[in-house]
Chain A
Amino acid sequence: MAVTQVKVDATEARLAAIPAPDKGAAWIEAARDAARARLREMGLPGRRDEYWKFTRPDSLTAPEAPAAALFEMGEPQVFDGFDRVKLVFVDGVFDADSSDDPALAGVEIERLATAAQTDIHWARETYGILEARGQTPVPRPLAALNTACAGDGVLIRATARAEKPISLIYRHESKTSDAYLHHVIRVESGAELTLLENGPAAARFNKVMEVDIADGGRFNHVRAQGRDHERRAATHIFARLGAEAVFKSFTMTVNGQMTRNECVVEMAGDDAVAHVAGAAMGDGDFHDDDTVFVTHDAERCESRQVFKKVLRGGAVGVFQGKILVKAGAQKTDGYQISQSLLLDGDSQFLAKPELEIYADDVVCSHGSTTGAIDADTLYYLRSRGLPKAEATDLLVLSFLAEAVEEIEDDALRNEVTARLGAWLARRRG
């Protein structure tokens, strides 16, 4: 389909407004050129696009980032209590002084801005490659824009089991910052890595993370997006899994005027496992969109999508989730659930669950529900002495639990639960 003139103009305006990253080595410049060409072919997302039916892309595509107030965290941040390697990005630029020494046994950690100057680099096999693979069957123009324009990010290659997590910490210090980060992660055969992400990144944030997991590799990802309410964020994860590889990604989202998290997973090797989960809570002009696309292209793989959203005061939650089972992906086990808990009549949950199956010997299920707090359960808790607000919060946490339980590590799971509880307690006053 030809790109409309409106889209052409918007795309060119957007590209022109982004300062070009420092010129890098031939491989990355080639990847950027290819991404720019991809983007021009698709055009930026528009309101009429089917894939943007529930989420207005305007604030994500406008030439200038809408200003966002800086958020002061008074208390310790999520994951602060964990032993980890911290890498700090301020408004989309790596901050070496605030970061830990990027040294971790069995793991190579490098800044994209530096690696981009190197003629030969392992990341050339992945940078922009998984993103490009993820552009069919559904275009994801904001990800191509990122590949074309991102000047910084982190490249991580795990060759063994990392003894502690790598923690990406984002900071927002400029009110109108428009940040692009592109991370590339390669988990080699038999290696294992846990990646944490948290913090307000910028007024507007566009992030792509490409994750390539070789046979038998394991990747755990726990992300906290929170509390900087004026944030506009479009993030993409593109993951490719080899045989017996494991990919687990969990995202907690509280607050945020515009969050679009896309996760594109390709099960390329037999017996791989991918779990993508999210727990979101917001009120007022909160808009949170999880768009997930899992492709089964190998035998006996298992995928799970578990998304829960708690909405009130006019908040909007969106879930678009798809399981695509290609011909030959026999014995696929695919599961998808998306549920919302509406705490009042003003909020909305918009869901589009999809299955597309071309193999005959598969088990796939999906479900989507919207509900309110159960009156009998609330009464039961109150009859035991819990005040109404506290009882409601307990039920909110209990609703989110199925998603939070997707976090494998006990300590991380407890941390996320505690953060969700603290957010609720703060709202209660």
Chain B
Amino acid sequence: MLEIKNLHVKLKDEDTVILKGVNLTVEPGRVHAIMGPNGSGKSTLSYVLSGRDGYEVTAGEAWLDGVNILELEPEERAAAGLFLAFQYPVEIPGVGNMTFLRTAVNAQRKARGQEEISSTDFLKLVRERAKTLDIDAEMLKRPVNVGFSGGEKKRNEILQMAMLEPRMCILDETDSGLDVDAMKLVAKGVNALRDADRSFLVITHYQRLLDHIEPDVVHIMSAGRIIRSGGPELAIEVEKNGYADIKAEAV
């Protein structure tokens, strides 16, 4: 599904190198988690994969289902099936959440040569998926993320994911700033989307999200590299001992 090879990334306008050779393969239907201390490059990895400006890929590749996505525009990556749930979702005053969702769904359908979704089908789908995430009609009417609480913003990201039905979902610290109930709700939304053709890359700072979204593989990222990979037990080890031991080991 997703294959990242030897990815090196620096800031476009500065010499700062952030990713120093990331290698990662996510198979269809699998959930991979990336953990790592603040500033290790987790968000940068997700931004570079989804096409944010301001970074320069100096070496390496990223393949999604046989396409090198690093050569695509952000919207083309979305149409190819990539989705990033943002660590900091953006507020868009003046654009209703519902309008935004429908515009996005139709833009992707158009890019794939499909017809626009009918209003009734769309409404039905939104209501059904919003319900799982405890998103009410009021939240759907409001401008995108404007005045939303932290938890509402994150649930809204998952709703977009549910509506767009991407094949490769990247979740960047979707658990940060959430209380336990909100986190469970988000996890429920994510788990509802798990299937044999869809993969997840769950970036998190804490192990607790992984109690609810159980990963197949856990990677530890530090200073722009993946320094160790293992099973779910790796997350528990980190939770117990912190990153220091693993970092020391990797040096």
Contacts and interface: CB of A to CB of B under 8 A. Distances in A.
Contacts of A428: none
Given A385-B79, A401-B93, A380 B86 contact: yes
A385 B111 contact: yes
A394 B94 CA distance: 9
Interface string A376-403: 1101111111111011001101111110
Given A385-B75, A385-B111, A394-B103, A380 B90 contact: yes
A96 to B, nearest CB: 42
Contacts of B77: 383
B53 interface: yes
Dominant secondary structure of chain A at its interface with chain B: helix
Contacts of A73: none
Contacts of B93: 398, 401-402
Nearest to B104: A384
A390 B107 CA distance: 9
Contacts of B84: 383
B90 A376 contact: yes
A375 interface: yes
Given A375-B53, A379-B52, A379-B74, A385 B108 contact: yes
A395 B74 CA distance: 17
B59 interface: no
B75 A386 contact: yes
Contacts of B78: 382-385
A202 to B, nearest CB: 34
A398 B86 contact: no
Contact of B75 (A375, A376, A387, A402): A387
26 contacts: A377-B92, A380-B92, A381-B92, A382-B74, A383-B50, A383-B51, A383-B77, A383-B84, A384-B107, A384-B164, A385-B107, A385-B111, A385-B164, A386-B75, A386-B103, A387-B73, A387-B75, A387-B107, A394-B100, A395-B92, A397-B94, A398-B92, A398-B95, A400-B94, A401-B95, A402-B94
B91 to A, nearest CB: 8
B94 A382 contact: no
Given A383-B74, A383-B83, 11 more contacts: A377-B90, A380-B90, A382-B78, A384-B107, A384-B164, A385-B107, A388-B75, A394-B95, A394-B100, A401-B94, A401-B95
Chain A, interface size: which category? Answer: 20 to 34
B75 A382 contact: yes
Interface of B: 50-53, 73-75, 77-79, 83-84, 86, 89-90, 92-95, 100, 103-104, 107-108, 111, 143, 160, 164
A236 to B, nearest CB: 30
A149 to B, nearest CB: 42
Contacts of A386: 75, 103-104, 107
User: Sorted from nearest, which 9 A-B pairs have the closest CB atoms?
Assistant: A401-B94, A398-B94, A385-B78, A382-B74, A385-B108, A384-B104, A380-B90, A385-B107, A398-B95
A273 B246 CA distance: 67
Nearest to B52: A379
Contacts of B95: 394-395, 397-398, 401
Given A383-B51, A385-B75, A385-B108, A390 B94 contact: no
A399 to B, nearest CB: 7
A383 B74 CA distance: 5
A333 B206 CA distance: 50
Contacts of B83: 383
Interface of A: 375-377, 379-388, 390-391, 394-395, 397-402
B151 to A, nearest CB: 19
Nearest to B77: A383
B52 to A, nearest CB: 5
B74 to A, nearest CB: 4
A384 to B, nearest CB: 4
A402 B94 CA distance: 7
A213 B219 CA distance: 71
A379 B75 contact: no
Contacts of A395: 92, 95
A377 B100 CA distance: 12
Contacts of A380: 86, 89-90, 92
B51 to A, nearest CB: 7
B53 to A, nearest CB: 6
A118 B199 CA distance: 81
A401 B92 CA distance: 11
A401 B144 CA distance: 13
A312 to B, nearest CB: 19
Contacts of B104: 381, 384-386
Q: Which of A381, A383, A387 is the most central at the interface, judged by chain B CB atoms within 10 Å of its CB? A: A383
Nearest to B89: A380
Contacts of B89: 380
A395 B79 CA distance: 20
B49 to A, nearest CB: 10
Nearest to B86: A380
B185 to A, nearest CB: 21
Contacts of A382: 51, 73-75, 78
